Chains A and B, each alone.
Chain A
Amino acid sequence: MVHLEIQVLAFLILTIGIVGFLVRKNPIVMFMSIELMLNAVNLSLIGFADELKSVDGQIFSLIVMTVAAAEVVVGLAIIVVIFRVKKSTDVDSIDLLKG
């Protein structure tokens, strides 16, 4: 049995995440987009796990969640530091690394 609906949903959520990451300037919202993308992938993994009767996909999704949680911690800390220095959270104003 193919859970096509699940995969289409995961793809849609992923696309929303990508577009959100690219078009929004607020770092918090961008983080949310990233989380969205990760969760879309989790959804896809679980869908496949169920389809293939394998537990691997579920384990993977757990790992992805763990990594996402850790990443949020680091990322939010960075945002706080940047806000303290620049008094703003507009990501387009953070371009010191340009060539």
Chain B
Amino acid sequence: MELLYAACVGLMVSCGVFLILRARTFPVVLGLTMLSYAVNLFLFSSGRLSTNQAAVLGYSAEYADPLPQALVLTAIVIGFAMTAFVVILAIRGRTDLGSDHVDGQAPKSNKKVKV
């Protein structure tokens, strides 16, 4: 199971990084979201994998490590704030610059998008 878990994290990192390297804003945002999923899973796994051991006192004999969980919980919420900020920045950028390109060179035909 550990191998499968690690493979999933790796695949998500790959997909996230590939999307982040695209030239338009929306895939970059998607990639960032994907990468933050992967990072959350990675951090979470530093408490090792365990089943049916939720860190609620009195419900099981052994408990999963609660510390990475607490860290990841806030990371999820902050990750949302970051994604939101980036996507709004993309919208603002598109409005102000007239293009959603992040490769530093907008194609001429896209410069003026008609309403």
Q: Do A and B come from one complex?
A: no
